[in-house]
Amino acid sequence: MSQHNTDSDELARFGYEQSFERRTGKFASFAVAFAFVSIATGIFTTYGSVLNSSGPLGIWTWPIAVVGQLAVALVIGSLASRIPVTGYAYQWTSRLANPVLGWIIGWISFMFLAVVVVAVDYTVASTVLPVLLDYEANGFVTWAVTAVILLGQAALIGSSTKWTEKVNNAAVSAELVGMVLLTVLLLVVAAIRNNMDFSNLWSRGAVAAEGYWSFGEATSAGPWMLGFLLGAFTIVGFESAANLAEETNDPERVVPRAMWQAVLASGVLGFLFLVAVTLAAGDPVALAASGTPIADVIKNTLGPVVATLLLLLVVLAIFACGLVIMMTGTRLTWAMSRDERFPGWRQWKKVSPRFGTPLRATLFYVVLAEVILGLFSAFSEDALFTLFGAATLLPAVIYAATVALYLTKRRALPEGGKFDLSGWEKPVLAVSVVWLVFELSLFRDASFRDAWLYVLVMVVIGAAYLVTLLATRGRRALDMPDMHSIDAAFAQKEQS
């Protein structure tokens, strides 16, 4: 029996027929996870914020965040291997906990994906393209450019999954090679020119020494603690590979590996790049005042030509990041609609016979993204930080819920399989729980007020729909197809 037929049979055990062509291989799956993480996007976006909140010393929070997120990725990988179905956290929670909680997690995941694609594309329109093309980024221009980028990504996703993956594979390859070369060039050229300042690695910049290491107060986090937002914002989205499970060959093995490899590769390469930039930063206090600190360091060290090439690389990486986010969001919308559990599900559950994509779900998703973009641009004085805050907060909530689910249901999961934590399960769980509790505590800071407001508004909208669904169709409206236990599914697979 071919791998394709085996994967289709596995999907049938969860009550679904094969709707997409399985064309996603090992590198494409890794590329999806790596593109969502996108260290070029995350570091370019948040490095300046870290200089202002924590000083250069804040980069040392990165390795801790990498270890924490790697532990989370291993836990999620174990779930993805056992329930290889599009919808990731929504499917896992619905089947291992209950359909109501699964719907809530699915809605929170949808909230995250809807806002983070806007945050990513807004970054390129507000901080990268103005420098690259030498124009003034006022509110209207930034809104217009972001809107066009969103439309371009939707057009590609809606018309061809094959070409979407080709574009993403090329972008990820360029980002990997480009970031390695850039890091090496920074270190070598700065050393040759004697421009390396090792004291920068231990500098607080303009941040006061008093209370620097403190955990903070009830509504504020300490300066060094805020540095963790660099890793918390960047090293997320690796689970996007699991949302293409029904389009991936041998997803039980390929998807978990893609997730932890993307986190590890991003973590190591990202930290080396952070160290290189910080060593060549010159005066960190002056650099903190810049709106594009990474580009400034590259330009001062390697010259304007390399700086321009860097910006082109960043534009490509950010476009690919937004592309993968939108593709993940459309798949989640489609998956919840297939189960008749998403507003307007009759329209969004259809797969285009011409393109083989969830075209209508893609159109819905991009329209919603445009609305969110308009609202944030119109009502937020600092739209980028607000989007950044919401895009950092929501994945932490999703990861915490997923790890809690695994923690309570791990004994119900079958032993072994294609990806299993085995004897590492308890230490990995301990690390992931400690990390997520700490990470969530950072969002008590008053600067995340608008981000919490976005979450509150979206939760209210979701709750209203959930109540309406239950009132009109009853508890059975939230039933999932083939809701047998995961143990029974695997027992049946082994017998066959």
* Per-residue model confidence as pLDDT tens digits over 63-93: 999 999 999 999 999 999 988 899 989 998 8
| Encoded tokens for 93 | 């929670």
Is residue 221 classed as helix, strand or coil in its secondary structure? strand
pLDDT of residue 97: 84
E-strand ranges in 93-165 read none
CA distance linking residue 347 with residue 365, whole number of Å: 12
Where do the domains of the chain lie, and which CATH numbers do they carry? Answer: 3-489 (1.20.1740.10)
Please list the helix, strand and coil fractions of the chain in percent, rounded to the nearest 5, in that order.
75, 0, 20
Which residues of the chain are under the pLDDT cut of 50? 1, 483-496
Q: For residue range 293-340, what is the model confidence (pLDDT) as tens digits?
A: 888 898 889 888 888 888 888 889 889 999 999 999 999 999 999 988
pLDDT of residue 5: 58
| Encoded tokens for 241 | 């590979």
Q: In DSSP terms, which residues pair with 461 in a beta bridge?
A: none
CA distance linking residue 230 with residue 226, whole number of Å: 8
Cβ atoms < 10 Å from Cβ of 392: 27
Residue 33 one-letter amino acid: A
CA distance linking residue 50 with residue 230, whole number of Å: 7
- DSSP-derived secondary structure letter, 201: G
**Contact in structure between 142 and 125 (CB atoms under 8 Å):** yes
CA distance linking residue 494 with residue 496, whole number of Å: 5
Compute, in degrees rounded to 10, the torsion defined by CA atoms 196, 228, 387, 455.
Answer: 180
The torsion region of residue 344 among left (phi > 0), alpha (psi -120 to 50) and beta comes to: left
pLDDT of residue 119: 84
Helices and strands in the chain: count of H runs, count of E runs: 21, 2
What does each C-alpha distance from 468 to 192, 234, 346 come to in angstroms?
67, 36, 16
Which among 83, 29, 22, 17 has a CA at the least distance from the CA of 247?
A: 22
E-strand ranges in 127-246 read 216-217, 220-221
Is residue 5 classed as helix, strand or coil in its secondary structure? helix
Cβ atoms < 10 Å from Cβ of 289: 12
